[in-house]
Chains A and B, each alone.
Chain A
Amino acid sequence: MDLITITYMIIALPLLGAVVAGIFGKVIGRTATHRVVISLIAVSFALSCYLFYVMVLLNYPTITTVLYTWAHAGTIQMDVSFLIDKLSAVMACIVTFISFMVYVYTIGYMADDPGYQRFFSYISLFTFSMLVLVLADNFLLLFFGWEGVGLVSYLLIGFWFKRDTATLGSLKAFIVNRVGDLGFLLGIALILTDFGSLQYQAVFAEAPKLLNSLWVFPGGASMTTVTLTCLLLFIGAMGKSAQVPLHVWLPESMEGPTPISALIHAATMVTAGIYMVTRLSPIFEYSPAALSVILVIGATTCFFMGLLAVTQFDIKRVIAYSTLSQLGYMAVALGVSAYDAAIFHLVTHAFFKALLFLAAGSVIIALHHEQDMRKMGGLARYLPVTYFTFLIGSLALSALPPFAGFYSKDVIIEATRLSTLPGAGYAYFCVQAGAFFTALYTFRALFLTFHTEERFDPALQGKIHESPWVVLLPLLALAVPSVIVGALLIGPMLFSTPRLLGDSVFILPQHDVIKQLGADYHGVLAMAFEAMNGLTFWLVIAGVAAAWIFNVGFTGWTATLKQRFSWLYAILVHKYGFDEFNQAVLVKGTRETGEALYTVSDLKVIDGICVNGSGEAVRWFARVSRHLQTGYLYHYTLVMVLGLMCFLVWYVR
């Protein structure tokens, strides 16, 4: 089999799984469904590994392949075509591996759910869409995958469609994402306008020419076309990767079943925006202004969303806010042109965040679908394996050396320090402070869930037991990379020449902060030890300590702190008021405008006055003129005589 066939199979197998589970699921039954779907994804994963081996380890050159021509318009040709290079190989591996783990986990998690086959169909469709997204060779197919994953996310958030909160959350997710998609689509339109092509290579080759054209807006403001294009594209990324202020859908997405929180809303889909910017680095590199915006938005998301996690009590929401914060780190990395570091953090994050979600899910099943941490506590005793894996995930997320998150996050923080873009100072503060809060909320969740006194429903006493092996196996399989993948990958991904992603990423020499960092890099172990001399490490330790103080050691302090800073607490509990604002201004505003246009303009003015009005006018005229036709002969004679006289007067004059 050649690489192209392999690529097609990687993409097609999950689609096949989705079709089988969706259409024949009820016929072949539960066991057969999950067997089919999981064996297909396993093959797909194995093939992705092979792809990784060939592209990255054997260093094959980039391959593009056209499946068929979708449409053409004049000279513009739009193909369904795929791009196989180092970046797409890495992404394909991550996507299929996390998918594989989550599918296995689903067998246990969804065991009693009546929508079992439907669920497998959806997640399989998700993997397909995500693979299309990362393997696409042009903007059109990228958009297809982009919208495809958005659709499946919508379907899965609303999976339990009888729950109103779930369906509302899914609707919100879809519409907020659509706001981003509008920006993305306009960005694509601008690219087509300027380059006459949607194919990556063709566009990248000509990207610098955009520097010479200006867009002038009414009012005199102007920016280079490349900046406008990048900003529009990044709006798309903000939707999908949940950056402020388009982040509001991600916490709501936790209404969906936990496996998809891990797969879609932590490990893969939400990183699509990060992937997109990295893939399009040959364009973004030419717009320092756009990079600066990305940096500031990423930093804001990173710090302020991390802060919110500290006040949440729903275990899934804590992890969701943490995801927002980590996506912020990735965006910061993009902003400082450390694309490799962004992808590196994407990879490590995919492992430990999926792990945390799945471990949280294991807790949730053990407690019969209880998600409130106030009703947990002391679970380490009952769920040792879950506890152990959750701990590993927490250590990785908190970026303690030598766990995976340490390497990726530390690089981002250091890269930010070196950046000279406007906003870099602010970003550096945010990522540093973010490190403290990451440790704080992560260990707060760990302590509240697994330590402290038992607060769960007494009815559950004696019924809590460790999850089945289908749940634990994925946890263990994810725990291993959560420990080692950082140390394993940091050298090849960042500090070797050429880097692992090679020419998939384009960085202008003057932006290359990673190269500057490389001078201080003396190997994995050295980096871990040197961390202790840095501020970040002690911030993390302080975060862990604070978590212990406020939740285990001196719980009384928490109340005091809440009281002292009640205003701050109120702001955090209201999540800065984004939801209230959206609800009161945007949603209500739209509906009331629509209502006003409908009742006043459409019904009263157009239909009432103009349409029915002209009908009325005709009737009125008929009513009035009816009086002329009296039927009396002498009336007619009179009119005739009068008329005659008028004529006479006229002519005789």
Chain B
Amino acid sequence: MQFHLPLLSMLIWLPLIGAVLVLMTGSDKHANLARWIAVIVAILSLLLCVPLYLGFDPTTYLMQYREDYLWIDSYKIHYSLGIDGISLVMIILTNFTGLLVILAGIEATKLRVAQYMATFLTMQAMIVGVFASMDAILFYVFWEGMLIPMYLNIGMWGSANREYASIKFFLYTFLGSILMLVGLLYLAQQSGSFDIQSFYRLPLTLHEQKLLFFAFLLAFAVKVPMWPVHTWLPDAHTEAPAGGSVVLAALMLKLGVYGFLRFNMPILPVACQELAWLMIILSLIAIVYIGLIAIVQTDMKKLIAYSSISHMGIATLGCFMVYDIVQDTHQLQSAYMSLEGAVIQMVSHAFGSGAMFLGVGWLADRYANHSRLIKSYGGVANTMPVFAAFFMLFALSNVGLPGTAGFVGEFMVIVSAMRAHFWIALIAGSTLILGASYTLWMYKRVFFGPVTNDQVASFKDLNWIEVTNYLLLSAGVFWLGLNPEPVIRVLQVTLGHLLVQSMPYGLAMNLPKDFSYFA
């Protein structure tokens, strides 16, 4: 570790300080100043990710960029940071998305600009904090801390029904997290420390594991969201401003899966193995049931929201299928792709759905009454050809076309599913058809056909900020789709280690203890 710059702290505190600075500009009189500060802070944060990525050692599973300070002495709570491969990928994604939403906010927001920008910078800091925390309480603080700016964001800049949506969002997620806090406290009591890694070695009985599993499950399942605790998402998405939707889809949903990977699987391996069937069924329900619901949506944002839930089903499936695969094949190797696919699905989904939410936001901005209904549009490709071309790319990524980001995770998980069971693969594979149906049918109704009304006829094509935004996202979509290897490189050892950790002793007995062959 030659790096002595506290990069992780910088990534957390830079946007927070930025948020304070932005807020100090005050009213909308200095809106432009607020915009510039926010953009500069976001760019700086993203630039900080470059040394973070380059300095990361992909050959070890140990936490890197460690920072550890005593925070609350009496309870031995630490300000303890560190990242592994999964966190690294998610942190880079967070900063990337942060820049996108702030860029998107430059034009879209006219009222209370400074406050709007500040909510996003704060969210970014909190989310990076979640991914970097190694202390349970610190994790929890960031976890809950991010709800506040999101709540404000939806509640203040959202559309007509925003109050219902923001309260629903807050209560749903908060209620979920409370049980997680109980679980964390119990674990800390057992291990005598709040260090998350100290939880991994705890000898817990099956009964304890199951109780804890459900405590964590509720918190994380709400975030993913998994059926049947998913109904906050369509409301939150539809009412949130475009940027808020992007953060929700691209980042907040990922926290749930991240939680499964960080807590449930390595801490509670036996319960995970016992209850994997439940998680698989819930994931498959998400894929099929939610996919069917997405087809009949009339509101574009709702449609993409449901499509998000369906896509996250692939990610959770990838996580929990590993137990079945290892059981069937007696090889840890063969489960690897499933987990890898789950993580990549998280990243790719951020690009695809993030871009689509942005696009729908731009469309609604151009429409006089900000309609999000599919039937208000038609023939947009005539007046906005550049936008139509970009949107097609992201729609295709959503459909999972090879060469785009959306394909990689979907492919890996569905292909792995065959090792678990034929029927799981078949049902999960239905997303190929369902995804194409809802995405392209919406595309057809919104973009194709003759111009349907004067509103659409008056649309102007994307401006340069919007184009920049979409160029960044397209780069992401193509890069991950055509060459996912750089992402896999940093994930490899971490996931290998995680896989070994997540196997219950009985299952793992016949397996090679050494996971260096993942390197």
Q: Which residues of A contact B (CB under 8 A)?
A: 68-76, 140, 143-144, 147-148, 151, 154, 158, 161-162, 164, 167-168, 170-171, 174-175, 178-179, 181-182, 185-186, 188-190, 192-193, 196, 215, 590-591, 593-595, 597-598, 601-602, 606-607, 610-611, 615
Q: How far is the CA of A347 from the CA of B444 in the complex (A)?
A: 35
Query: B103 — which chain A residues lie within 8 A by C-beta?
Result: none
Given A73-B340, A186-B425, are A594 and B293 also a contact pair (CB < 8 Å)? yes
Pick 14 A–B contacts, CB within 8 A, sort by A.
A71-B485, A73-B336, A74-B333, A144-B403, A148-B402, A161-B381, A162-B450, A170-B444, A174-B440, A186-B414, A189-B425, A196-B334, A590-B437, A601-B289
Min CB gap B157→A, angstroms = 24
Spot the interface stretch: B79-87, B118-126, B186-194, B427-435: B427-435
Query: A144 — which chain B residues lie within 8 A by C-beta?
Result: 402-403
Query: A175 — which chain B residues lie within 8 A by C-beta?
Result: 433, 436-437, 440
> Across the interface, do B228 and A606 meet the contact criterion of CB distance under 8 Å?
yes
Query: B436 — which chain A residues lie within 8 A by C-beta?
Result: 174-175, 178
> Across the interface, do B333 and A171 meet the contact criterion of CB distance under 8 Å?
no
> Across the interface, do B415 and A72 meet the contact criterion of CB distance under 8 Å?
no
Query: B488 — which chain A residues lie within 8 A by C-beta?
Result: 71-73
Given A178-B436, A611-B231, are A73 and B412 also a contact pair (CB < 8 Å)? yes
Known contacts A598-B297, A611-B168; 5 additional CB pairs below 8 A are: A71-B484, A167-B444, A171-B441, A178-B432, A182-B429
Partner of A182, one of B433, B444, B450, B484: B433
Query: A610 — which chain B residues lie within 8 A by C-beta?
Result: 228
> Across the interface, do B419 and A193 meet the contact criterion of CB distance under 8 Å?
yes
> Across the interface, do B396 and A151 meet the contact criterion of CB distance under 8 Å?
yes
Q: Is B211 in the interface zone, CB < 8 Å from A? A: no
Q: Which residue of chain B has the shortest Cβ distance to A189 in the bound complex? A: B418
> Across the interface, do B414 and A189 meet the contact criterion of CB distance under 8 Å?
yes
Q: Is B327 in the interface zone, CB < 8 Å from A? A: no
Partner of A148, one of B168, B333, B379, B403: B403
Q: Which residue of chain A has the shortest Cβ distance to B339 in the bound complex? A: A73
> Across the interface, do A597 and B293 meet the contact criterion of CB distance under 8 Å?
yes
Query: A147 — which chain B residues lie within 8 A by C-beta?
Result: 401-403
Partner of B292, one of A174, A178, A188, A590: A590
Min CB gap B456→A, angstroms = 13
Given A175-B433, A175-B437, are A71 and B402 also a contact pair (CB < 8 Å)? no
> Across the interface, do B231 and A597 meet the contact criterion of CB distance under 8 Å?
no
Q: How far is the CA of A167 from the CA of B449 in the complex (A)?
A: 8
Query: A594 — which chain B residues lie within 8 A by C-beta?
Result: 292-296
Query: B232 — which chain A residues lie within 8 A by C-beta?
Result: 611
Given A73-B336, A74-B518, A193-B419, are A182 and B430 also a contact pair (CB < 8 Å)? yes
Partner of B379, one of A162, A182, A189, A611: A162
Q: How far is the CA of A164 from the CA of B437 in the complex (A)?
A: 17
Total interface residues on B, CB under 8 Å, equals 59
Q: How far is the CA of A646 from the CA of B294 in the complex (A)?
A: 58
What number of A-B contacts does a CB cutoff of 8 Å give? 135
Query: A154 — which chain B residues lie within 8 A by C-beta?
Result: 440
Q: Is B455 in the interface zone, CB < 8 Å from A? A: no
> Across the interface, do B485 and A69 meet the contact criterion of CB distance under 8 Å?
yes
> Across the interface, do B448 and A158 meet the contact criterion of CB distance under 8 Å?
yes
Given A171-B444, A597-B289, are A74 and B334 also a contact pair (CB < 8 Å)? yes
> Across the interface, do A590 and B432 meet the contact criterion of CB distance under 8 Å?
no
Q: Is B3 in the interface zone, CB < 8 Å from A? A: no
Q: Which residue of chain A has the shortest Cβ distance to B329 in the bound complex? A: A193
Min CB gap B175→A, angstroms = 9
Q: How far is the CA of A181 from the CA of B228 in the complex (A)?
A: 30
Q: How far is the CA of A594 from the CA of B408 in the complex (A)?
A: 27
> Across the interface, do B334 and A164 meet the contact criterion of CB distance under 8 Å?
no
For the complex of A and B, 9 pairs with smallest distance between CB atoms: A73-B337, A189-B418, A74-B336, A594-B292, A144-B402, A594-B296, A189-B415, A167-B448, A161-B448
> Across the interface, do B433 and A591 meet the contact criterion of CB distance under 8 Å?
no
Q: How far is the CA of A636 from the CA of B426 in the complex (A)?
A: 65
Given A162-B379, A597-B293, are A72 and B485 also a contact pair (CB < 8 Å)? yes
> Across the interface, do A76 and B337 meet the contact criterion of CB distance under 8 Å?
yes
Query: B289 — which chain A residues lie within 8 A by C-beta?
Result: 597, 601
Q: How far is the CA of A71 from the CA of B482 in the complex (A)?
A: 9
Query: A140 — which chain B residues lie within 8 A by C-beta?
Result: 402, 411
Q: Which residue of chain B has the shortest Cβ distance to A144 in the bound complex? A: B402
> Across the interface, do A215 and B448 meet the contact criterion of CB distance under 8 Å?
no
Q: How far is the CA of A602 from the CA of B483 in the complex (A)?
A: 38
Q: Is B469 in the interface zone, CB < 8 Å from A? A: no
Q: Is B464 in the interface zone, CB < 8 Å from A? A: no
Q: Is B447 in the interface zone, CB < 8 Å from A? A: yes
Min CB gap A225→B, angstroms = 11
Partner of B295, one of A148, A162, A185, A590: A590
> Across the interface, do B231 and A602 meet the contact criterion of CB distance under 8 Å?
yes
Min CB gap B294→A, angstroms = 8
Given A71-B485, A595-B296, are A185 and B408 also a contact pair (CB < 8 Å)? no
Q: Is B422 in the interface zone, CB < 8 Å from A? A: yes
Q: Is B417 in the interface zone, CB < 8 Å from A? A: yes
> Across the interface, do A186 and B433 meet the contact criterion of CB distance under 8 Å?
no
Query: A178 — which chain B residues lie within 8 A by C-beta?
Result: 432-433, 436
Min CB gap A591→B, angstroms = 6
Q: Which residue of chain A has the shortest Cβ distance to B431 in the bound complex? A: A182
Q: Is B376 in the interface zone, CB < 8 Å from A? A: no
Q: Is B382 in the interface zone, CB < 8 Å from A? A: yes
Q: How far is the CA of A286 from the CA of B382 in the complex (A)?
A: 52
Q: How far is the CA of A180 from the CA of B429 in the complex (A)?
A: 11
Q: Which residue of chain A has the shortest Cβ distance to B332 in the bound complex? A: A74
Partner of B418, one of A148, A151, A193: A193
Q: How far is the CA of A413 from the CA of B293 in the complex (A)?
A: 49
> Across the interface, do A598 and B484 meet the contact criterion of CB distance under 8 Å?
no
Query: A611 — which chain B residues lie within 8 A by C-beta?
Result: 168, 172, 231-232
Q: Hey, what's the 0/1 contact readout for B376-389 against A, CB within 8 Å counting as 1?
A: 00010110000000
Min CB gap A236→B, angstroms = 11
Query: A190 — which chain B residues lie within 8 A by C-beta?
Result: 418
Query: B381 — which chain A residues lie within 8 A by C-beta?
Result: 161
Q: How far is the CA of A190 from the CA of B414 in the complex (A)?
A: 11
Q: How far is the CA of A70 from the CA of B340 in the complex (A)?
A: 14
Q: Which residue of chain A has the shortest Cβ distance to B297 in the bound complex? A: A598
Q: How far is the CA of A3 from the CA of B112 in the complex (A)?
A: 63
Q: How far is the CA of A591 from the CA of B447 in the complex (A)?
A: 21
Min CB gap B509→A, angstroms = 20
Query: B228 — which chain A residues lie within 8 A by C-beta?
Result: 606, 610
Q: Which residue of chain A has the shortest Cβ distance to B389 in the bound complex? A: A22
Q: How far is the CA of A164 from the CA of B295 in the complex (A)?
A: 19
> Across the interface, do A597 and B292 meet the contact criterion of CB distance under 8 Å?
yes
Q: Hey, what's the 0/1 contact readout for B452-490 against A, CB within 8 Å counting as 1?
A: 000000000000000000000000000000111100100
Min CB gap A597→B, angstroms = 5
Interface residues of B in 215-236 (CB under 8 A from A): 228, 231-232
Q: How far is the CA of A147 from the CA of B435 in the complex (A)?
A: 14
Q: How far is the CA of A335 from the CA of B418 in the complex (A)?
A: 27
Q: How far is the CA of A144 from the CA of B418 in the complex (A)?
A: 20
> Across the interface, do A182 and B382 meet the contact criterion of CB distance under 8 Å?
no
Query: B422 — which chain A residues lie within 8 A by C-beta?
Result: 186, 215
Q: How far is the CA of A597 from the CA of B290 in the complex (A)?
A: 9
Query: A188 — which chain B residues lie within 8 A by C-beta?
Result: 415
Q: How far is the CA of A150 from the CA of B182 in the complex (A)?
A: 51
Query: B171 — which chain A residues lie within 8 A by C-beta?
Result: 615
Query: A215 — which chain B residues lie within 8 A by C-beta?
Result: 422
> Across the interface, do B401 and A189 meet the contact criterion of CB distance under 8 Å?
no
> Across the interface, do B415 and A192 meet the contact criterion of CB distance under 8 Å?
yes
Partner of B293, one of A148, A167, A171, A598: A598
Query: A615 — which chain B residues lie within 8 A by C-beta?
Result: 171
Query: A161 — which chain B residues lie within 8 A by C-beta?
Result: 381, 447-449
Given A190-B418, A193-B419, A607-B231, are A182 and B337 also a contact pair (CB < 8 Å)? no
Q: How far is the CA of A189 from the CA of B341 in the complex (A)?
A: 14
Min CB gap A587→B, angstroms = 9
Q: Hey, what's the 0/1 contact readout for B353-390 against A, CB within 8 Å counting as 1?
A: 00000000000000000000000000101100000000
> Across the interface, do B382 and A162 meet the contact criterion of CB distance under 8 Å?
yes
